[in-house]
Every structure is written in C-alpha cells, then in structure tokens.
Structure 1
Amino acid sequence: MFVSFFPKPKLFFMSFVFWSAVAMAFWYLAGRDLGAVFGMPPAAADAEPVVGASYFWTPEFLWFYIYFVVAVGLFAGFWFLRSPHPWQYWSILGSALILFSTYFSVQVSVAINNWRRPFFDAVQNALTTPGSVEAAELYRLILIFTQIAFLWIAVYVATRFFVSHYIFRWRTAMNDYYMSHWTRLRHIEGASQRIQEDTMRFAQTVEGLGVSMVDAVMTLIAFLPILYGLSSQVTELPLVGEIPAPLVWAAIFWSLFGTVLLAVVGIKLPGLEFRNQRVEAAYRKELVYGEDFEDRAQPLTVRELFANVRKNYFRLYFHYMYFNVARSFYIQADNIFGYLILIPTIAAGKITFGVLQQILTAFSQVSSSFQYLVNAWPTIVELLSIHKRLKSFEAVLKGEDLPDIDRRYLDREASGIPPQDQPA
C-alpha cells in the first residue's frame, strides 16, 4: 500500500515527522526572526492584524514561503539521493505541495477572522448610531472579503485538480505493484476487486484523512494563540467561574468529550464494514461465475449468499443507528456550545459584536481541530475496512499468515466446500 509509492515507508514517515518538528521548532525559535536579515522581518507583537488579501504577501509571509521551499528541498534531496524511487516526485514533492496548500487554507481562515472584527464592529456601530458609518466603508470591507474569498477559490480549485492526479498516481503505483505479483495474489478472495477498487479508495481516503489531520494541526498552531489572546476578554465560564485561558480549556474539554464519546459508541463499525465487503465480494463472485458456467449462481446458492449480505447490512444499520444518534446530538450541541460558555460575558456587555464573532470563529476552529477524530470517524471506519482487505495482499507478499477470515475461505475452497457454505 505504501512501499509502491513512497521510498522505505516506515523510515520515510518517521523522518518526515522528525524533520517537520525540527523545521517548525527552528522557525519559531529563530527562523522567523532570521527573515529580518534579508529584509523580511516579522510583524511587531503589538501591530494591528493585516486585513485583506495583502495579508498573504507581507514580508513575514514571503520569508515563510522561502523557508518552506528550502526545508522541502533539503528533505526531498536527502531521499532522492538515499533511496531513489520511481514515484518520488509525486510522493515527496507532491505531498509537500498538498501540505503547503493546506497551510494556505488555514491562513485564509486567519485572514477572514482578522476581517471579522472591523466589519462586525462597523455593523454594530451603524445599527446603534445611525449615520456613524458610511455605506462606502461597509462596501470596502465587503470588497476585502471578496478578494480573500476569490484568492482562496483559485487556490482550492488548482489544489483539487492536482490532488485528483496525485490520488490516481498512487493508485497506479499500487496497481502496478500488485499486478506484478498477481500469480501469488490471485487466490485471495475478491482479489480482482481489491486491486481494481480498493486501491483507488485507499489512496483517496488516506489522502483525505492525511490532509484533514495536517489541517487540524496547522489550525491549532494558527488559532490557539488567537484564542488564548481573546480569552482575556472573557471573564468567567458557566458553572466553572474564573480560570486562566477559559476559552482554551473549554475547547479542549468539549473536544475530548466528543472524541471519547464517538470512539466508544463506534467501536464495532470497522469490523462490520470489513465483513460487509467480504460478503458482498462472495455474492458478486458467484454471480460472475454464473455468467460463464451454467451450474453456478443457482437460485439456492445465490439466496444463501444474499442472505449473508442482508444479515450483515442489517447489523450494520443497527450499529450505525445509535452511532448516528450520539454523533448528531453532539454536533447539534456543538453549534450552541460556544454561545453557551459566553453567556456571562455577553450578559455583562464586556465585548463588542466584532469581538464576539472573532471569539466564536477562533473557538470553532480550535474545537474542530481537537475534534479531528469526531469529524473523521466515519471515514476512518471505511479506511480500516479497506486496509484489512489490502492487508491480505501484504501478508502473502511478506510470507505472513493471512487474516483468519481469508484463511478460512482458502481452506474451504481447497476442500471443495460449495460457495453458499462459505463463512459470512
């Protein structure tokens, strides 16, 4: 799954995490200030946030772009020399480009959050004191938002086009790798489907989850300091009272609560999704045999196989029912949780409408990042199912024991047990 696309996957990903940590640590300890040597100093600590699209080409941002390219170049150069790989440009440089696009998207959220305070404060002033704000000022602020949005749209469309090709290249790498070992893999149940369909789904799902995880980490890095600074304007929390950095602690508590809740209620889903693929493959395989052989796909056989499909789907529906109940309740509560913890502050009239919007946005960004597992759990369940199916290929190629369900299938095939009696 990974060796076909990445050079020495275990070592590669370990080195990626290590190098990312080193690059980030150096940036915040010294690299950010090093830009001043080249005429691109960071903004002063007490400087007003830049509002508008110019936020993305301030001297500090220009210096970061250079720093990122250098860091990626050093990492890629090391792997190009140490372990050349036929897909290295897509797997290494392509991944770096997706990483940068994710970072840019997070910064768009920061830029919009900077825009919220002046815009909503202007709205509040206009509604409170008629004539105090010119219509031209509101139009100007709307135009600023439009510039940021159009810039994001351009980057998003280009990124999705690139990601589509990235995913198909990964699928191609897996397809070529598995087909080169087809004589050893063809006996695995549903081998053709696993190569034709699961490789694409695996690449697509891993890319999506990986980008979401990186986005969550980058959002935390960008918005935690903002949320911490805004916490100074919140006097207390309901039931808790006054505590340091109340907004940060509230986001952490709420996110952990949701993560633990959904992990517990959804613990059975990965195994059921895998079994669902298994019974569907057995049913489909018998129908395919029936196209070529008159003695296959007989009514009794097909009825038995479809009964297995029906049984597993009904079990899956039941377990998804209570999982969706818990998830839906949590998501709906999440919509009002930010307002709930701000009620004492709002009632005391200690913040403006613009500050309220900034707090809600920053709190939502931070809590959503902490809720990565909550938001991604259905996708993770699907990925675990796909991984289990492709893991059988890995076991064959490495000379390891097959998973129990595949081993039982091969044993029964070898003993001549009819398909309808195969284990569900």
Structure 2
Amino acid sequence: MFVSFFPKPRLFFPSALLWTVAVMSFWYIFGREAGAAFGLPPLPPGTKPVAGASVFWSGPFLWFDIFFVVATGIFAAFWMVIAPHRWALWSILGSALIVFANYIQVEASVAINNWYGPFYNLIEAALSRSTPVTLAEFYGKIASLGGIVIIGVTLGVGTRFLVSHYIFRWRTAMNHYYMAHWDQLRTVEGASQRVQDDTMRFSTTMESLGINFIESIMTLIAFLPVLLRLSSDVTELPFFGHVPYALVVAVVIWSIFGTGFLALVGIRLPGLQFRNQRVEAAYRKELVHGEDSTERAQPQTVSELFSHIRRNYFRLYLNYVYFNLSRLFYLEVDNIFPYVVLAPNIVAGKITLGTMNQILNAFLQVRTSMQYLINSWTTIVELLSIYKRLRGLDASLQGEPLPKLDARFRDDPLETPW
C-alpha cells in the first residue's frame, strides 16, 4: 500500500513528522519575526486581524508562503537524493501541495470569522440605533466578503481536483506493484478482489477521509489561536467560575470526551466490517466458480455461505444501533454546548453580537476539527477493514505471517473477531 508510492515508508513518515515539528517550532520561535529582514514583518501586537481578501497578499501571509516553499523544497530534495522513487513528485511534492492548498482554504475561513465581528456589530448598531449606519456602508461590508468567498471556493474546487488525481496515482502505483508480483499473490484468498476492488476502495476512501483529516489539522492550527484571542472576552465557565483561557479549555475537554466515548462505543465495528468483506468475498467466489463448473455453487453450499452473510449483517446492524444512538445524542448536545458555555457572559452583557458570532464560529471550527473521529468513524471503520485485507497481500509478498484476523478467518469465517 505504501512502499509502492512513498520512498522507504518506515523512514519517510517518521521523518516527515519530525521535520514538520522542527519547522513549526522554528516558525513560532524565530521564523515569523525573520520576515522583517525581507520587508515582510508580522503585524504589530494588538493589531486587529485583516477582515477582507487583502489578507492573502499581506506581508505576513506572503512570508509564510515563502517559508513553506523553502521548507518543503529542502525536505523533498533530501528524499529525492537519498531514495529516488518513481512516484516521488506525486507522493512528496503532491502531498505538500495538498497540505498548502488546505491551509489557504482554512485561512479563508479565518478571514470570514474575522469579518463576522465588525459585520454583526454593524447590525447590532443599526438595530439598536446606537450609531448611524448607512445602506452603502452595510452593502460595503457584504461586498467585502465576496473576495474571500471567491478565493476560498476556487481553491476548494482546485484542491478536490488535485486530490482526485493524487489518489488515482496512488492507486496506479499499488496496482503496478501488486501486478508485478502476481505470481506470488495469485494463491492468496480473494487476491483478484484485493488487487482490483480493495485498491479502488482504498483510494476512494482515502480521498474523502484523507482530505478531511488534513482540513481538520489545518483548522485546529489556524483557529485555536483565534479562540485563544477571543478567550479574553470570556473568562468564566458555568459551574466552574473563572478559568484561564476558558473557551480553549471547554472545547478541548468536550471534544476529547466525545471522541473517546464514541471510540469506545464503536470498538467492535472494524472487526465486524472486515468479517463482512470476507463472507461477501467467499460467497462471490463460489458464484464465480459456479459459472464455469456445474459442481460448484450447489444449493446447500450457496445457502450456507449466504447464511454467513446474513448472520454477520445482523450483528453489524445491532452494533450500529447503539453506536448511532450514542453518536447522534452527543452531536445534538454538541449543538447547544457553546451557548451553555457563553451563557454567563451573554446574560451579563459582557460580549457584543459580533464577538458572540465570532466565538460561535471559531468554537464550531475547533470542535469540528477535534471531532474528526466522531464525524468520520463509519468511513474509518471501512478503511480499516480494507487495510486489513491489503495488509494480507503485503504480508504474503514479504514472507510474513498473515495478520491474526486474516489467519483466524481462514480457519473459521464466523469466529468472533474480538
């Protein structure tokens, strides 16, 4: 799955993580200020964030773009020299471009959040008649949102197009790799399905799941500082009183609780989904053999194989009942959670309408990014089951024992996976 597309994956991924940590640390300690030497200084402390499309060509933004390109170039050049790989341009530079494109999209969301404050304060002033507001001024505020939306939408569509090509290149690399070793793989149970169907499903699942994961990480990095800044207006939490950085504390604790709770509730689902693919594959294989031989796909055999499918689906349905019940209950409570957190400050009149909307939006962005596992759990379950099947192919190629779950199902397709 990985060696076909990435150079030396067992070293590449840890090195990418370490390089990312090192580069981000350097940026926050020294890098942001270094832009001043090139005429691109950071915003002075206390300056209000830019609430318009001009943020994308401001000095601090352009300096980060340059910094990112240089850091990526150094990392890519290192790997292309020490471990040349056919797919390096896509796997290394393509990955970096996808990350960067998602970063720009998230910055567009931050710019919209910064626009919320003055816009809703303008609405509050107009409704309360505390400050004169002209129609031209109101329409001007709406028009200023247009530039941000155009940039965000255009990048969103372009990123999806890029990701689609990136993922298909990954599938192509897997297909070429497995077919080059077909003589070793043809004896593996369901090898044809794994090479054709599972690589296709792996790539399409990664397309949706991977891009959402990157968006969640970028959103968390971009919006946590925003929420930290807005915490200066909210210093108290219900039942706890004064809490430093109250908004950040509340969203982190709530999201970690929800993620851990639902991961525990759905712990059996990956094994059941994997079992589902195995029994479906066994049934399909018998039917395919029945097309060529009258001795195969006999009623008794087909009935027994389909009973395995029926039994497994019923187990899966039962497990999804309590998982979906827990998930939907948590998400419904999650919708009102920020209002509960802000209640003391709203009732006391300590925040304006614009500030409240900025907080609610930033709160939503951070919660959604931290609840990635909750919102993607069903897709993650499917990806894990596909991974287990493709891992069986990799184990066969490397002369390793079959994964435990694969080996157990070889002997007993109905054995309880947990």
- Scaled by the length of structure 1, the TM-score of the pair is 0.94
Alpha-carbon offset, residue 376 of structure 1: 2.4
Whether 1:258 aligns to 2:258 is yes
- Report the equivalent of 1:92: 92
The residue type equivalent to 1:310 in the other structure is: R
Task: Write the deviation string for residues 323-362 of structure 1: whole angstroms up to 9, x where unpaired.
Answer: 0000001111111100111111100111110000011111
Task: Write the deviation string for residues 178-209 of structure 1: whole angstroms up to 9, x where unpaired.
Answer: 11111111122211111111112223333544
- Report the equivalent of 2:233: 233
Task: Write the deviation string for residues 150-178 of structure 1: whole angstroms up to 9, x where unpaired.
Answer: 11111111111111111110000001111
Cα distance in structure 2, aligned partners of 1:422 and 1:241: 56
- Shift of the 232–70 alpha-carbon distance from structure 1 to 2, 3 Å rule, reads same
- Report the equivalent of 2:284: 284
Cα distance in structure 1, aligned partners of 2:189 and 2:73: 43
Cα distance in structure 1, aligned partners of 2:410 and 2:22: 48
- Report the equivalent of 1:414: none
Could you tell me which runs of 5 or more consecutive residues in structure 1 were left unpaired when the two chains were aligned: 412-420
Deviates more, 1:210-219 or 1:38-47: 210-219
- Report the equivalent of 1:70: 70
Q: Confirm or deny: 8 A CA contact 1:167 1:200 kept in the other structure.
A: no
Alpha-carbon offset, residue 410 of structure 1: 6.0
Cα distance in structure 2, aligned partners of 1:370 and 1:158: 25
| Within-5 A mapping of 1:10-159 | 10-129=10-129, 132-159=132-159
Alpha-carbon offset, residue 406 of structure 1: 4.2
Could you tell me which runs of 5 or more consecutive residues in structure 2 were left unpaired when the two chains were aligned: none
- Report the equivalent of 2:369: 369
Task: Write the deviation string for residues 101-158 of structure 1: whole angstroms up to 9, x where unpaired.
Answer: 1111111111001000011111111111188211112211111222211111111111
Alpha-carbon offset, residue 423 of structure 1: 5.4
The residue type equivalent to 1:80 in the other structure is: M
Q: Confirm or deny: 8 A CA contact 1:290 1:296 kept in the other structure.
A: yes
- Shift of the 114–405 alpha-carbon distance from structure 1 to 2, 3 Å rule, reads closer
Alpha-carbon offset, residue 226 of structure 1: 1.6
- Report the equivalent of 1:275: 275
Alpha-carbon offset, residue 94 of structure 1: 0.5
- Report the equivalent of 2:342: 342
Alpha-carbon offset, residue 220 of structure 1: 2.3
Question: SS of 2:236's equivalent?
Answer: coil
- Report the equivalent of 2:4: 4
- Shift of the 104–400 alpha-carbon distance from structure 1 to 2, 3 Å rule, reads same
Alpha-carbon offset, residue 399 of structure 1: 0.8
Identity of aligned residues (%): 59
Q: Confirm or deny: 8 A CA contact 1:205 1:379 kept in the other structure.
A: yes
Report the RMSD for the aligned CA atoms in angstroms: 1.7
Cα distance in structure 2, aligned partners of 1:61 and 1:135: 32
Question: SS of 2:241's equivalent?
Answer: coil
The residue type equivalent to 1:338 in the other structure is: P
- Shift of the 65–326 alpha-carbon distance from structure 1 to 2, 3 Å rule, reads same
Cα distance in structure 2, aligned partners of 1:271 and 1:139: 55
- Report the equivalent of 2:160: 160
Question: SS of 2:242's equivalent?
Answer: coil
- Shift of the 71–114 alpha-carbon distance from structure 1 to 2, 3 Å rule, reads same
- Shift of the 39–422 alpha-carbon distance from structure 1 to 2, 3 Å rule, reads closer
Alpha-carbon offset, residue 215 of structure 1: 2.7
Cα distance in structure 2, aligned partners of 1:211 and 1:32: 27
How many positions carry a matched residue from both structures?
415
Cα distance in structure 2, aligned partners of 1:240 and 1:405: 47
Alpha-carbon offset, residue 231 of structure 1: 1.4
Cα distance in structure 1, aligned partners of 2:179 and 2:409: 22
- Shift of the 284–345 alpha-carbon distance from structure 1 to 2, 3 Å rule, reads same
- Report the equivalent of 1:318: 318
The residue type equivalent to 1:112 in the other structure is: I
- Scaled by the length of structure 2, the TM-score of the pair is 0.95
